[in-house]
């Protein structure tokens, strides 16, 4: 006599089949890490699981400066006390803001036309984009004029590991 399958077994089988169906039938979906989580990145989906070879992701790339227009109430903090979300000095212009759920702090990115930058800050626009499945990075610039001139660009950004290798 066969035993009746447990609810956990039924859920596990259903989840596995559903994930397989999403990956094969809906090309706009890709799994991220080991979680059953799917994102859509502007019709150009990249698998975000770590791999040893070079990995690029299409991202919305904008720019900001440290003025009141760009930073709001955070610009009112005295210069010597201002910090990024990761605790860095924002007046060293080597960082970008991103949604930490998609791009954790200290992730290094090679941005075309800019170079290597480190995720050290976040912002509401980046977190809102992440909820829609869009990778969005905001480059910290020295002046408001530079930030405006940058505008909004969609670029293939390369992710890097701490040792300089791509992941």
Sign of the alpha-carbon torsion through 81, 83, 87, 90: negative
∠ CA 104-107-112, rounded to 5°: 125
Show me where the domains of the chain are located: 7-39, 56-160
Residue 51 confidence (pLDDT) above 50: no
| pLDDT digits 0-9 by tens, 96-133 | 999 999 999 999 999 999 999 999 999 889 999 999 98
Residue 77 confidence (pLDDT) above 80: yes
SS3 state of residue 93: coil
Mean residue pLDDT across the chain: 77
pLDDT at 153: 94
pLDDT at 35: 40
- Helices of type H across 47-117: 68-71
Residue 162 confidence (pLDDT) above 70: no
Q: Is 150 within 8 Å of 114 (Cβ atoms)?
A: no
Q: For domain 56-160, give the CATH number.
A: 2.40.40.10
């Amino acid at each position: 006599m066969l035993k009746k399958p447990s609810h956990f077994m039924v859920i596990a089988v259903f989840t596995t089949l559903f994930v397989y169906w999403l990956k094969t039938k809906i090309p706009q979906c890709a799994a991220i890490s080991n979680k059953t989580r799917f994102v859509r990145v502007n019709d150009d989906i990249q698998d975000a699981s770590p791999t040893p070879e070079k990995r690029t992701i299409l991202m919305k790339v904008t720019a900001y400066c440290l003025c009141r227009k760009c930073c709001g109430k955070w610009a009112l903090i005295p210069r010597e006390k201002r910090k990024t979300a990761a605790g860095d000095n924002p007046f060293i212009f080597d960082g970008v803001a991103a949604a930490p759920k998609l791009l954790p702090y200290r992730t290094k990115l090679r941005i075309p036309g800019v170079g290597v930058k480190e995720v050290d800050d976040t912002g509401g626009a980046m977190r809102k984009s992440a909820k829609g499945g869009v990778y969005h990075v905001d480059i910290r610039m020295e002046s408001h004029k530079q930030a405006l001139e940058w505008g909004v660009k969609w670029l293939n950004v390369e992710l890097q590991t701490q040792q300089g290798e791509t992941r």
